[in-house]
Amino acid sequence: MHVTDCQVDYVGKGPHILTAEETAAVNAALAAGAAPGDASALCLRIIKACTRTNPRTLAASLGAYGVPVVKGALTLAPLAPQAAVLTKWLKSEVPG
């Protein structure tokens, strides 16, 4: 299977209440420089960044997410199939 894009939305009867894992990922993104504001929207961007990305558009996709969201994704899903790719991209974006 090849995923070219996905949409991530919260679907529920009430407001999106972040789990402990989601909160940790959002906090990691904030600590890395994500703009504060809507934690639920940031969480959904982090979840989307965790999905497999088309290798042909990977650099552009990760660049659009930015370092803070990618760090949040690695906090949320450090063992996901995409984690190695995210880590490699981060090393190319963040010196040292």
Per-residue pLDDT tens listing for the chain (96 residues): 566 677 888 998 999 999 999 999 999 999 999 999 999 999 999 999 988 777 788 888 899 999 999 999 999 999 987 888 899 999 988 765
User: What's residue 33's pLDDT?
Assistant: 97
User: What's residue 55's pLDDT?
Assistant: 77
d(CA 2, CA 55): 10
d(CA 14, CA 42): 18
d(CA 64, CA 60): 6
Q: What share of the chain is helix, strand, coil (3-state, %, to 5)?
A: 60, 0, 40
User: What's residue 37's pLDDT?
Assistant: 92
